[in-house]
Structure 1
């Protein structure tokens, strides 16, 4: 590709503001159904009772009337420097600026903060959804800054344009950098609605019992599996609901709901009895999942970063290319000769991380990052860094258009694109094939260089994709090439990820996967050997419709893996005790017990004064 063509394209596609807003290319028309619905028996938005049921979860605010015309359905907290951000969602606009009343006394909310609202043309729109309490299309952002650290505040969302006033709720602000007290964080990845109810139960319990915040490393809701009810079981995946091989990866017991009969006329699918135990509409999956998480997100900050399942309405086709026929040609329950899914196969509102960008609000603008894609924040003795492992680096898993073009093209043809093409969300100055051309790389370097280790001795980085695993994939090399050098240079203690649907704790690894034996005390205790190695943990077992991962033929455990669990679901609890010790625990979703425990120590804390040698 010619340099001038690349520059023109990237200027058009790159984000120009720290709070990115979705930019969707519509040069080629969308030719699929007006609203894709994953139910051949009942292809209606609201359901007619003949096919899969339309699942529901309670809204954040219980409406005051039986037939509300508007409602606050989702409330979600997130940190901003020296403050708190309150994000809430309604099906329709407020007719005024969004506001939050707040104060230190729940009986005297004597301050008011206002913000801004945004929306997108979701498919279907909330005017097409019968239940006002089950749809979000308007998103409201209110930041409260200059707050006292480590302090409980109370807040209330007032009524506006038909909504009901919320109860008086509360949040606790972040501890300042350097605060010496211990704290715990709930860390999770790859959590949808199906197979995650145990994780959800334990997560709600953690939020109630004092966990500081939740940190979700991508793959939120699995909205793009809306078609699970219409794709017949494939041979390469063990679960076939009501089919001939209903087994679960890892040999776990078959849930009782898998034994329920299918609605008449439906086909065996890779999911569960209710359309895969999730909604059969992409946007409704987001609504369902976010409302399910309200008991967590309105209590503690819920910090997120992007995963592959947020990119678009689908990732790949199924047997007989049923999605190509449906999304490209509006042929229901049909087939196509080849898989021909492109960027333009999804409705415009279901491309380029659009829903993800609207449904959350992370502190990218306040920390020099970009929107919900990369940002950082301090809490007590730790500096937490969220990076984008899907876009905005060379050879990223989700390509931008500049990587699709050939010859002297300035934009790719329709057939040259991929269904998950996305970004870039930051600026790109130079070749798209060089990571140092990307804004994200420079931001990460600057962010890590500014860390004051006398205040935040622990530095934890998370991206959706792992750098290493016993289950190897080519993307791992590209993630390493983009970020591993910086993480080692600046002494990052741990790199957390998901994507692979299991729990895998690795030994401390140096560059190119060399095991740092000097940093291993025993199988359950490591030293933080800053600059020489990093502790890697794959934490992708929160539960989702795709169940657990399995090794491909010919694969198996390698010597870099200390522990592997591909049977249980759950999340991980990270506890920072002090400047020299932290603990990582796998919390099982089925009973809340600890499935794995790792202690990470700084060298000065080592018994007997063990020294490292460069």
Structure 2
């Protein structure tokens, strides 16, 4: 399940092992089973895994009509075969409240083995408190394994979560097989067409006071060509330009993707040349990376995984801490949330020879998940332990509040520091500009 903008409608995908005649969605408010709405879609498509077994599943995408606010809906999907309709179990989901604030879950890097946070994610889904999960890549480890049957296993494994709370996913390096075919097909309900991108690997959506962008970090590595990098950066620049012009309605801009721009310890290749590639771009192109765009468009936060731990940075730019306060921060900060649980275990921060950089505000090596409450003027960020013995909820290991004024000033009215030189007027427009905005 995924949202459309502001939770006005949802999309639901289900799979069958046989071709069917029609796919059906029926849903109704929990307290009014007479208000039944039915959506019918003709048969979906055959997704054939790229392995030797040519494992095939049939995927079906359904979309609700406009949904009422502050409502718990019950729903079923059905497979029509001849004169019979075979119905799924009944699931529930909730729609956005009338309040101007909301909460969502941020996590990443979870497989079917050692999925320590699975019980907690199921619990938060059933609470109807959190409005969606932002999943920062690497699911299943890997969906294409065992001729693609691992993808079926994983989707069945997470079904009770993914059918109850919308999951807004980003692709990771463990989704790359067969040109990301499993991700592109199994997450084709991502709102990419509305976002003006060509496939489900990148999209954005609006939700109350937040503009959230899902970006594919993998375009910078072996799976991406210079042409694809150029397309991705052009799309991101255009998307963030529109979002920045709409700050009066959506004051917060967050981007999430799989790989970090900053991480510890600094001798890890993920935290050295790979992080530099994410920040500044690939050496074989002059197209730039993500950091210049984040600074140019005043992105507030970047959420990622890949490193199997939790780390929060201070506001950061150009590999330097630019503030220790989260009140009107002059730059974006980053959250690594790749500790949901997978067969590889967690990543250590221990290093006796390389000091931790001063931009690293807090580090946690265990398993867990993050929650973010968004209001027009504040972000409340929390990180909770998932206890490795049985996946139960542990203590809160991090809590920080980010504050800003309700209506941020226009970029042209702020002082701009580019490459350590102060300039007046408008921000540089080059994708490779290196600027920090100061109130």
Instruction: Give the TM-score normalised by structure 1.
Output: 0.58
Residue 214 (structure 2) aligns with: 386
Residue 343 (structure 2) aligns with: 545
Q: Is 1:207 aligned to residue 125 of structure 2?
A: yes
Residue 255 (structure 2) aligns with: 461
Residue 286 (structure 1) aligns with: 151
Q: Distance in 2 between matches of 1:597 and 1:370?
A: 37
Match of 1:527 among 327, 334, 339: 327
Q: CA deviation at 1:165?
A: 0.8
Q: Which has more strand, going by share of residues?
A: 2
Residue 319 (structure 2) aligns with: 513
Q: Is 1:557 aligned to residue 378 of structure 2?
A: no
Match of 1:353 among 151, 169, 180: 180
**Partner SS state of residue 398, structure 1:** coil
Residue 204 (structure 2) aligns with: 376
**Partner SS state of residue 363, structure 1:** coil
Q: Distance in 2 between matches of 1:294 and 1:537?
A: 26
Q: CA deviation at 1:572?
A: 0.6
1:219 to 1:555, Cα distance in 2 relative to 1, 3 A: farther
Q: CA deviation at 1:449?
A: 1.6
Q: Is 1:367 aligned to residue 179 of structure 2?
A: no
Residue 581 (structure 1) aligns with: 378
Q: Distance in 2 between matches of 1:114 and 1:379?
A: 27
Q: Distance in 1 between matches of 2:120 and 2:313?
A: 25
Match of 1:449 among 237, 241, 244: 241
The within-5 A match list for 1:312-327 is 312=177
1:85 to 1:540, Cα distance in 2 relative to 1, 3 A: same
Instruction: Give the TM-score normalised by structure 2.
Output: 0.80
Q: CA deviation at 1:505?
A: 0.9
Q: Distance in 1 between matches of 2:262 and 2:166?
A: 29
Residue 290 (structure 2) aligns with: 483
Is this contact kept in 1: 2:26–2:77, CA < 8 A?
Answer: yes
**Partner SS state of residue 367, structure 1:** coil
Where in structure 2 are there 5+ consecutive unaligned residues? 266-270, 281-288, 408-414, 416-436
Q: Deviations over 1:413-443 (max 9, x none)?
A: xxxxxxxxxxxxxxx3xxx7xx5xx222122
Q: Distance in 1 between matches of 2:24 and 2:15?
A: 12
Q: Distance in 2 between matches of 1:462 and 1:159?
A: 34
Match of 2:23 among 98, 102, 120: 98
Tell which has more relative contact order, 1 or 2 (C-alpha 8 A, sep 6+). Answer: 1
Q: Distance in 2 between matches of 1:448 and 1:295?
A: 34
Cα RMSD over matched residues?
2.7
Q: Distance in 1 between matches of 2:341 and 2:173?
A: 16
Where in structure 1 are there 5+ consecutive unaligned residues? 1-76, 128-135, 227-280, 313-350, 404-427, 606-610
Q: CA deviation at 1:151?
A: 4.0
Q: Distance in 2 between matches of 1:225 and 1:547?
A: 21
Q: Distance in 2 between matches of 1:163 and 1:216?
A: 33
Q: Distance in 2 between matches of 1:203 and 1:151?
A: 21
Q: Is 1:216 aligned to residue 135 of structure 2?
A: yes
Q: CA deviation at 1:155?
A: 2.6
Q: CA deviation at 1:446?
A: 1.7
Is this contact kept in 2: 1:87–1:142, CA < 8 A?
Answer: yes
Residue 343 (structure 1) aligns with: none
The within-5 A match list for 1:120-135 is 120-122=47-49, 123=51
Residue 54 (structure 1) aligns with: none
The within-5 A match list for 1:61-80 is 77-80=1-4
Q: Distance in 2 between matches of 1:514 and 1:180?
A: 37
Is this contact kept in 1: 2:260–2:278, CA < 8 A?
Answer: yes
Q: Is 1:495 aligned to residue 302 of structure 2?
A: yes
Is this contact kept in 2: 1:528–1:534, CA < 8 A?
Answer: no
Q: Distance in 1 between matches of 2:88 and 2:163?
A: 11
Is this contact kept in 2: 1:506–1:563, CA < 8 A?
Answer: yes
The within-5 A match list for 1:159-178 is 159-161=79-81, 164-174=86-96
**Partner SS state of residue 299, structure 1:** coil
**Partner SS state of residue 59, structure 2:** strand
Q: Distance in 2 between matches of 1:98 and 1:87?
A: 10
Q: Distance in 2 between matches of 1:163 and 1:589?
A: 40
1:509 to 1:603, Cα distance in 2 relative to 1, 3 A: farther
Q: Distance in 1 between matches of 2:378 and 2:369?
A: 20
Q: Distance in 2 between matches of 1:291 and 1:480?
A: 36
Is this contact kept in 1: 2:143–2:154, CA < 8 A?
Answer: no
Q: Deviations over 1:450-509 (max 9, x none)?
A: 221111111111011111112323121121122211111111111111111111111110
Residue 309 (structure 1) aligns with: 174
Q: Distance in 2 between matches of 1:500 and 1:509?
A: 18
- Paired residue total: 381
Q: Distance in 1 between matches of 2:92 and 2:64?
A: 13
Task: After superposing the two structures, state which structure 1 stretch, 477-486 or 595-604, moved more.
Answer: 595-604
Q: Is 1:117 aligned to residue 37 of structure 2?
A: no
Residue 240 (structure 1) aligns with: none
1:468 to 1:282, Cα distance in 2 relative to 1, 3 A: farther
Q: Distance in 1 between matches of 2:110 and 2:135?
A: 8
Q: Distance in 1 between matches of 2:336 and 2:63?
A: 33
Q: Distance in 1 between matches of 2:363 and 2:37?
A: 52
1:85 to 1:465, Cα distance in 2 relative to 1, 3 A: same
Q: Distance in 1 between matches of 2:348 and 2:342?
A: 14
